[in-house]
Copies of this chain bind each other. A is one copy, B any other.
Amino acid sequence: MHYEIPAPSIPQLRRIPPFDLLADGALHRLLSGSKLIRAERGEILAQAQDVATSIHIVLDGEVRCVLLSPSGNEKLLRLVGAGDLYGEEAALLGRHYMATVQAQRQTRLLVVPVAAFRHAMAETAAFAQAITMRLAAAAYELMAHLQLCVQLNSTQRVAQYLAQLAPEDAERWEIHLSSDKQTIAAQLNLTPETFSRVLSRFAREGLIRTEGRRRVVLDKLSQLRNCAAQ
């Protein structure tokens, strides 16, 4: 990490929910013990097994939370972009991280000690409530993740992933992939090879067309949805 300076006042933070709920004084107190750090692509920001002592807020850039297996296999849990935060669960519980956190590209983060965070929650009920809802949403997302990865086969996973990127009622939709295919494969807990094979099978069956590296045309969304829910 390139530099680490106190961050007593970050006007940027005012606009990032849930920190917009804090009054000036509360925000200042929260930030008085915080540090601003910068990380380059690939840098490790938190190791699984480290005890979490702070909450990290991504100001700009992007970080990836991955689960590492003993055999070196990695599974992408989520991408955290600007304005988002991570580490609440582990830090609030005072346990070690489950995931390893790595900068995806050059990233600036705010590191808030958990004590200050807890204090802000005690001080501002609306803030505490927002955090509670975030945690509920996180648990909910994880259940969805578990269902996707544990229960569905590769075809269903890919179909579901593609279908959910289009509006509910559409039959044809053109999408631009938000990351490269390896990353998407990792989110779906597939190898790039398997992901590629499923896509080309869908293409052969006329359900989709891939144009270039990141453009996919979903031609038969109803069939795709059917594929996912079968």
A interface list, Cβ under 8 A from B: 67-71, 73, 75, 77, 88-90, 92-93, 95, 98-99, 121-122, 125, 128-129, 131-133, 135-140, 142-147, 149-152, 156, 189, 228-230
* Bound-complex Cα distance A125 to B67 (A): 34
| Inter-chain contact A98/B132, CB cutoff 8 Å | no
29 A-B residue pairs with Cβ-Cβ distance under 8 Å, sorted by A, are A67-B147, A68-B151, A70-B152, A70-B229, A71-B230, A73-B151, A75-B146, A75-B150, A75-B151, A89-B136, A89-B137, A89-B139, A89-B143, A90-B140, A92-B133, A93-B136, A95-B140, A98-B144, A99-B143, A121-B132, A125-B125, A128-B129, A128-B132, A135-B135, A135-B139, A142-B146, A145-B146, A146-B149, A149-B149
Distance in Å: Cβ of A147 to nearest Cβ of chain B: 5
